[in-house]
Structure 1
Amino acid sequence: MAKVLEINGPLVRLELPGAVLGEQVSVGALGLVGEVIGRDGDTALAQLYEDSAGLAPGEAAAGLGHPLSVELGPGLLGGIFDGIQRPLEAVRQVSGDRISRGIRVPSLARGRRWAFAPAPDRSAEMVINAGDILGSVQETASIAHRILVPPDVSGELLELAPAGDYEVDATIARVRSHDGSIRKLTLCQRWPVRIPRPFRRRDHAVQPLVTGQRILDTFYPLLKGGKAAIPGPFGAGKTMLQHQIARWCNAEIVIYVGCGERGNELTDILESLPKLTDPHSGRPLMERTLLIANTSNMPVVAREASVYVGITIAEYFRDQGYDVVMVADSTSRWAEALREVAGRLGQMPVEEGYPAYLGSRLAAFYERAGRVETLAGGSGSVTLIGAVSPPGGDFSEPVTSHTKEIIQTFWALSKELADARHYPAIDWLESFSGYIGQAARWWADNVDPGWAPARARALAMLSESEELRRIVNLVGVDALSSEQRWSLEAAELIKEALLQQSATDEVDSYASPAKQYLLLAGLLDIYDRGMRLVGQGVPARRLLELPVLGEARRWKTRYGDADIAGLRERVARLVEDFMPLEAEYFPAGPGEG
C-alpha cells in the first residue's frame, strides 16, 4: 500500500511503486494535491501544492495517473482561480473565506450549459486533424470560444453534435483515430501545464502591442508575441502600469497571474479589474480577462505552478487564433519558490542561494511566448510580460540579470522618478527594446516614416540632458551656454509633455499611435525652431518666456484621440509662436540688418 514515509515542509517522500515523474498524487487523509519530482526505486519524492501541517508518516497516498494539468474550455474567462486552477468563488461557497486543504472543486462549472454551434464545414466521415475547429461557444459578449480538436487527436470524424446547449463534459464529437480506437470529444480538454502546446511554425509577422502608454509604444515598443520585463522596487508603480496595459492593450485576451504578491495588493487588483470597462468594446473588461491569484501566504509550491497554469491557458486561447497578453506578477516570487524547494532538496545553491537552473527555468518559461501559425492554420500570439521585484531596486540581482538576458523589452522602473511623482516611472536610460527595427516598419506603414529618427533624436536629447543636469547641480545654470540651456529646457518639455502620463485622466490615460507621434513631432519642432533662434543670437532666457512652452505641456490632455486633426493643425501653426521673437530681434528678417 502506498504511504507517506517522510515529510519535509512541502516535500514528502512516498512509498509509491510505479510512480512516474510529473505524476499528480493525492496524499494523506485530506487528499492533498502534489506532484512527483523524483524517484528512487519504489520511493517517490513529491512536492505538495497545499500546506502539509498535520500530515503524518504512514498516511495513505495514491498516484492519480496523470501529470498536473488544467481544464481548458468554456467558463475560463471572467474567472478567478488559485495557483492550481481551483475557482476561488466556487471554493468560497464550499469552504468559506479560507481554502480548505484537500478541497476538490471542478475548474470549469458543471451544470452550466453552453450554446454550441458546430462549424459549417465539418461533417461526418471527413478527416480532421489536431487543432481543427469543431465549432464555437459564445462564452462572453466579447469572445467566441472556439472548440478545438485536442492536439493528440486526429482521424475520421464519425459524429458531430448539432447546435444546442451542452455541459462542458458532454460528448459533442466522436473520432476514429488512425489506430482504430474511438475518441469522444467534449467541450473541454485537459493539457499538462509543463508541456508547451504544439503549433505549426513561428509566425514572424510584425504587429506592435499598442498599450496607449507613450513611453512604452513610442520609445520602448513590444511586439505581439514578444517578451518583456517590468523590474522595479516597491512603490515604483508596477501595479498601476500593469493595470494600464491590461486595460488598454490591443490584445484580445488578458491573463493576470498574481504569483506570490502581498494579499492586499492582489486584493486591490481583484476588486478593481472587475469594475473596469473595456475601452475597445464598452463591455466589462472581465469578459476578456482571467485572473490567477496565488498570494504570498498561500503554499509556496503552488506559487511555482501558477505561472505554468497561466501560460498553458494563454497558449490555449492562442491556439484559437487570439492575441493573448499574460502578465506574471512577479517572477521574483516564483524564483523564491524555486529557491525554497531547491534548498529543501539539498541542491547546491549558487548566486544568492538560487538553484543553478534558475536561468534555464526562466528561459524555458519566456520561450513559450511567441506569435505562431496554429495547428488549424490561423494566427495567434502569446505576449509575456513578467514583473520583477529586485530587493532594494538592485537590477544586478540574479532574477533581474537573468531575465534581462532573455527578454527583448526592458521597462525599468525608477523609485526616484516615482518619488518625484513622474508616472509611469520608467527610466529612459535603463530601459531598452530589441524590437526597434521591426516596429519602425510598422510605424512607417501605419503612422509616419519619421517615427524612428524622431525617437532617436528625443532619446539623445534626454541622455544629453542628464549630463547638463549634473553640470547645473555642480556649478549652477549660469555655467551653461544658451544652446545648452535651451537643450535642457527641451528635454524637460519632452519629459513633462510626452513621457508623463496620467492614468486617471480620461483624455491622457490612453494615446493612440497617431497622437503619440504628433506630440513627439511637435515637441521636436519647438526645439528646432528655438535652437535656430539661439544660434542667431537670441538669448535662451527669452525663449523660456514663450507661452507655447506651457501650452505644449497641456496638449496631451487638451487633444483627445477624437481630435487628432486639431492637434495636427496646432502643430502646423508653431511658426506663429516664434514670430514675435523674430520680429523683435530681426525686424528686417533673420540674418539681415
Structure 2
Amino acid sequence: MQDGQIIKVSGPLVVANGIKNARLFDTVLVSDLELLGEIIEVNDDKVSIQVYEETSGIKLGEKVVSQHRPLSVELGPGLLSSMLDGIGRDLKEFAAQEGYYLTRGSKITTLNDKRKWYFHPIATIGQRVIPGDYLGYVMENKFKHYILVPEGVAGVVNWIADGEYTIIERIATVLKDDEQEQGVVMRQYWPIRKQRPYKGKGLPEVPLVTGQRVIDTFFPVAKGGTACIPGPFGSGKTVVQHQLAKWSNSDVVVYIGCGERGNEMTDVLYEFPELIDPKTKEPLMNKTVLIANTSNMPVAAREASIYTGITIAEYFRDMGYDVSLMADSTSRWAEALREMSGRLQEMPGDEGYPAYLASRLAQVYERAGIVKCLGEKTREGSVTMIGAVSPAGGDLSEPVTQATLRVAKVFWALDSSLAYARHFPAIDWLESYSLYQERVDHYMRRQVNRNFPKYRKRAMALLKEEQQLQEVVQLIGKDGLSDFEVLKLEIARMLREDFLQQNAFVEEDMFTSHTKQMLMLTCIMEFFAEARDALMHEHVYIADILNGESIQKIGQMKYIDETHLDKIRQIIKENEEELSQIAESLKEDQIIEGI
C-alpha cells in the first residue's frame, strides 16, 4: 500500500505527505529501497521522517509506507554475545549476508528465528501467572535467560513446553480471565522509547564493585546509579569504561559505541572473548551485548542506539539481573539531536543544541535505577548507567556536560595532564564527586570494615592539603616546610602513586577487591599515624623515616595477589615495628652521647 510520497530530502531528514493516520514515532519504509525511518514531526498532512540509512539518490515522488508501529527492538534468547547496530540489526548476520560494507535497505533481524533453544519450564499447568512471572528459562552458554510472561497476559497456564523450540514457536498457552487462550513465544518486541514497567524503584546503596581503587574507595557508584565521565580527547574515557565493563560485578554488560571510532569497538571484540569473567569463570563476551554505531555509520541512528541499548538493559533487569550500561559517548548522541533539530528548523539553544537537550538527557538517565520487578514473587534488578561525555577541547562548561551533571549522581572528572603522565585511571580526585558516598559508607562499614569511611576521609583530606603545600613548595622550596608537612607530602605521594594509580597490564593490579583496598588504605594511613607519633620524639627527624624500608614495602603492596593478602597485614605490622625501633634507637643514642 502506497501511503504517501516524498516531497523533500535534506540529508537524513525526509519530508513526505499523504500518509494516512500518521503518528509521532511510527516507523516507515522510505523509497523503493525501503529504508527504515521514523516520524519525528507531524504538521497537518506533512510528516518529517528521520531516516536511519544513507538517503543519497532518493528522488522526489518516491513512496513512503507506514508500518503503523513505533521503532522497536527484538528481545529474546540470542542477545548475549551479539553485536548490533543502532537500530538493532545483527552485524554478524549482516556481514554473512551482505558482506563487510553496510548496504541500504537490508532486512536483517536482531535474533535468529531458526535456532532452537532448550526450554526448561518453571511455571506449572494450572498455575495463575501475571506479567513478569517466570515461565521458564533457556541456557545461553551458562547464563540463565528467563522467559517472562509478557505485558498484557494474565491468567492460568493450561499448557507449557519442555524441549527444543525456536523463538517464534509457542512455549506456553495462558487461559486469560476473559476465557480467551493466549499463546506465548520466547520472542517479544518492545518500543525503544517506552520505559519497561516495574513495581517500584528503590534507593541505590549497594556499591557496584569495579576493582578500580579511585572509584570504589573515593567516588563509588551504587548499583542502579548513574555516573558520567567527561574529559578531553585522549584522557581515558573509553579506557575507564572498558575497565568497568571487564571487572564490574554486574550480571550483564550492554556496551554502546555511539559515534565513537570503530577501532574502539574492535578492541572490545578482540579482548572480551579472551577475558574471563571473575564471577562466572566464562568468557566476558558471554554476558555482553555490543551496540556499534560508530563514527562512519549513519548519524541519525546514533540517537536511536542509546534507546536500543537501554531497552535491552531493562529487559535483562526485569529478569532480576544487575546490568551495567556503558554509553560512549552521549556527546555524539547529542550531536545527532542537534543535526535533526537544525534540519527541522527548530529554535536552537546553547551552541546550536536543541532547547530540549536537558530533558532528553534526563529521560535517558531516568531509565537507570534499582527496581522491584513485575511478577508475583518479589525480586530486584538494576540498570547502572555510565555515560562518557566528549566536550570539545575538554571544556566542561559546554551544554552536554552541564546537562548531564544535573542528572548524574557521580562525576568522574578526567584530567589530560594525568593521562599524559601515564597515571591511569586519570580521574582527578580534586574535581570528582559521588552523591552515593554516604549510603555506600554505611555498606562498607557493615560489610568490609568499620574504619573504611574514617580512613577514606583522612586520605582525601591529605590529597586536598597536598595541593596547598605544593604551592608553598613552589614559592619558598621544600626546605621551608616543617617535618610534619614534609611527611604529609610523602603520604599524599603514596596515595597517588601506590594507591590511586593502577596498571591494567599487571594481573595483580588490574582489579582490586574491597578487602585489598581496605588493607592498602589501612597500611598507608597507619604508617602516617605511626610516623606522626615518631616525629613527636625530640630526636627523630623526617629523614630517618623517609630512609626506612617501610616506604619501599608500601610501594610493592599493590602487586600482591588477592590470595596472599596476609602479606599486606604483615607489612602493616612491620611498618609499626620499624617506626617504633627508630624512635627507641635514637633515644638510646642520645642517652649514650649524654653519658
Shorter chain as denominator, the TM-score bin is over 0.9
Query: Which runs of no fewer than 5 residues in structure 1 stay unpaired?
Result: none
Normalised by the size of structure 1, how large is the TM-score? 0.96
Contact kept? 1:275, 1:284, Cα under 8 Å: yes
Where does residue 462 of structure 2 map in the other structure? 461
What SS does the aligned partner of 1:508 have?
A: helix
Q: Which moved more, 1:431-440 or 1:574-583?
A: 574-583
The structural deviation recorded for 1:72 is 0.6
The structural deviation recorded for 1:566 is 2.5
Contact kept? 1:247, 1:279, Cα under 8 Å: no
Q: Could you tell me how far apart the structure 1 residues matched to 2:158 and 2:517 are?
A: 54
Contact kept? 2:204, 2:223, Cα under 8 Å: no
Q: Could you tell me how far apart the structure 1 residues matched to 2:566 and 2:586 are?
A: 33
Paired residue type of 1:535: M
- Cα RMSD of the aligned pairs, angstroms, is 1.6
Q: Which moved more, 1:451-460 or 1:467-476?
A: 467-476
Q: Could you tell me how far apart the structure 2 residues matched to 1:205 and 1:235 are?
A: 31
Paired residue type of 1:134: L
Where does residue 24 of structure 2 map in the other structure? 21
Q: Following superposition of structure 1 onto structure 2, how do residues 93-132 of structure 1 map, counting pairs within 5 Å?
A: 93-119=96-122, 121-124=123-126, 126-132=127-133
Q: Could you tell me how far apart the structure 1 residues matched to 2:558 and 2:173 are?
A: 57
Q: Could you tell me how far apart the structure 2 residues matched to 1:166 and 1:196 are?
A: 29
What SS does the aligned partner of 2:509 have?
A: coil
Q: Could you tell me how far apart the structure 2 residues matched to 1:245 and 1:166 are?
A: 35
Q: Could you tell me how far apart the structure 2 residues matched to 1:462 and 1:339 are?
A: 40
The structural deviation recorded for 1:540 is 1.8
Q: Could you tell me how far apart the structure 1 residues matched to 2:578 and 2:345 are?
A: 70
Would you say 1:561 and 2:571 are equivalent positions? no
The structural deviation recorded for 1:279 is 2.2
Q: Could you tell me how far apart the structure 2 residues matched to 1:38 and 1:116 are?
A: 43
Q: Following superposition of structure 1 onto structure 2, how do residues 388-407 of structure 1 map, counting pairs within 5 Å?
A: 388-407=389-408
What's the CA shift string for 1:141-170, capped at 9, x where partnerless? 2x1000011123223333222x11001111
Q: Could you tell me how far apart the structure 2 residues matched to 1:70 and 1:356 are?
A: 28
Paired residue type of 1:21: L
Paired residue type of 2:221: L
Query: Which runs of no fewer than 5 residues in structure 2 stay unpaired?
Result: none
Q: Could you tell me how far apart the structure 2 residues matched to 1:230 and 1:25 are?
A: 36
Q: From 542, 545, 550, give the equivalent of 1:543.
A: 545
The structural deviation recorded for 1:588 is 8.6
Contact kept? 2:204, 2:225, Cα under 8 Å: no
Aligned length: 586
Q: Could you tell me how far apart the structure 2 residues matched to 1:374 and 1:452 are?
A: 32
Distance 1:172 1:485, change over 3 A: same
Would you say 1:515 and 2:516 are equivalent positions? yes
What's the CA shift string for 1:226-250, capped at 9, x where partnerless? 0011111111122222121111111
Q: Which moved more, 1:180-189 or 1:450-459?
A: 180-189
What's the CA shift string for 1:24-58, capped at 9, x where partnerless? 11011110001111112232211011111111111
The structural deviation recorded for 1:277 is 1.8
What's the CA shift string for 1:266-305, capped at 9, x where partnerless? 2222222222221222211111111000001111110000
The structural deviation recorded for 1:574 is 2.0
Q: From 78, 91, 105, give the equivalent of 2:94.
A: 91
What's the CA shift string for 1:188-218, capped at 9, x where partnerless? 1110000000000113363110011111101
What SS does the aligned partner of 1:54 have?
A: coil
What's the CA shift string for 1:337-376, capped at 9, x where partnerless? 1111111111111111111111111111001001111002
Would you say 1:497 and 2:498 are equivalent positions? yes
Would you say 1:330 and 2:329 are equivalent positions? yes
Would you say 1:241 and 2:249 are equivalent positions? no
Q: Could you tell me how far apart the structure 2 residues matched to 1:208 and 1:410 are?
A: 15
Q: Which moved more, 1:30-39 or 1:524-533?
A: 524-533
What's the CA shift string for 1:462-504, capped at 9, x where partnerless? 0000111122122211121111111111100111111011111
Large movers: runs of 4+ above 3 Å:
176-182
The structural deviation recorded for 1:579 is 3.2
Where does residue 37 of structure 1 map in the other structure? 40
Distance 1:419 1:199, change over 3 A: same
Contact kept? 1:209, 1:223, Cα under 8 Å: yes
Q: Could you tell me how far apart the structure 2 residues matched to 1:113 and 1:507 are?
A: 41
Contact kept? 1:128, 1:155, Cα under 8 Å: yes
Q: Following superposition of structure 1 onto structure 2, how do residues 48-87 of structure 1 map, counting pairs within 5 Å?
A: 48-87=51-90
Q: Percent identity?
A: 44
The structural deviation recorded for 1:179 is 4.6
Q: Following superposition of structure 1 onto structure 2, how do residues 288-299 of structure 1 map, counting pairs within 5 Å?
A: 288-299=287-298
Q: Following superposition of structure 1 onto structure 2, how do residues 132-147 of structure 1 map, counting pairs within 5 Å?
A: 132-141=133-142, 143-147=143-147
What SS does the aligned partner of 1:579 have?
A: helix
Q: Following superposition of structure 1 onto structure 2, how do residues 256-335 of structure 1 map, counting pairs within 5 Å?
A: 256-335=255-334
Where does residue 534 of structure 1 map in the other structure? 535
The structural deviation recorded for 1:568 is 1.8
Distance 1:38 1:69, change over 3 A: same
Where does residue 154 of structure 2 map in the other structure? 154
Where does residue 6 of structure 1 map in the other structure? 8
Contact kept? 1:583, 1:589, Cα under 8 Å: no
What SS does the aligned partner of 2:174 have?
A: strand
The structural deviation recorded for 1:22 is 1.0
What SS does the aligned partner of 1:396 have?
A: coil
Contact kept? 2:9, 2:15, Cα under 8 Å: yes
Q: Could you tell me how far apart the structure 1 residues matched to 2:104 and 2:227 are?
A: 35
The structural deviation recorded for 1:181 is 4.4
What SS does the aligned partner of 1:35 have?
A: strand
Paired residue type of 1:410: F
The structural deviation recorded for 1:18 is 1.0
Paired residue type of 1:392: G
Contact kept? 1:18, 1:42, Cα under 8 Å: no
Q: Could you tell me how far apart the structure 1 residues matched to 2:205 and 2:176 are?
A: 37
Contact kept? 1:203, 1:379, Cα under 8 Å: no
Q: Could you tell me how far apart the structure 2 residues matched to 1:427 and 1:329 are?
A: 20
Q: Could you tell me how far apart the structure 2 residues matched to 1:79 and 1:181 are?
A: 36
Q: Could you tell me how far apart the structure 2 residues matched to 1:477 and 1:342 are?
A: 56
The structural deviation recorded for 1:180 is 4.9
Would you say 1:479 and 2:480 are equivalent positions? yes
Where does residue 203 of structure 1 map in the other structure? 202
Q: Could you tell me how far apart the structure 2 residues matched to 1:194 and 1:54 are?
A: 30
What SS does the aligned partner of 2:543 have?
A: helix
The structural deviation recorded for 1:425 is 0.7
What's the CA shift string for 1:430-453, capped at 9, x where partnerless? 110011111111111111011111
Q: Could you tell me how far apart the structure 1 residues matched to 2:475 and 2:395 are?
A: 27
Q: Could you tell me how far apart the structure 2 residues matched to 1:358 and 1:485 are?
A: 48
The structural deviation recorded for 1:506 is 0.8
Normalised by the size of structure 2, how large is the TM-score? 0.96
Where does residue 183 of structure 1 map in the other structure? 182
Q: Could you tell me how far apart the structure 2 residues matched to 1:317 and 1:529 are?
A: 50
What SS does the aligned partner of 2:295 have?
A: coil
Where does residue 230 of structure 2 map in the other structure? 231
Where does residue 381 of structure 1 map in the other structure? 382
What SS does the aligned partner of 1:332 have?
A: helix
Q: Could you tell me how far apart the structure 1 residues matched to 2:342 and 2:265 are?
A: 27
What SS does the aligned partner of 2:507 have?
A: coil
Q: Following superposition of structure 1 onto structure 2, how do residues 357-372 of structure 1 map, counting pairs within 5 Å?
A: 357-372=356-371
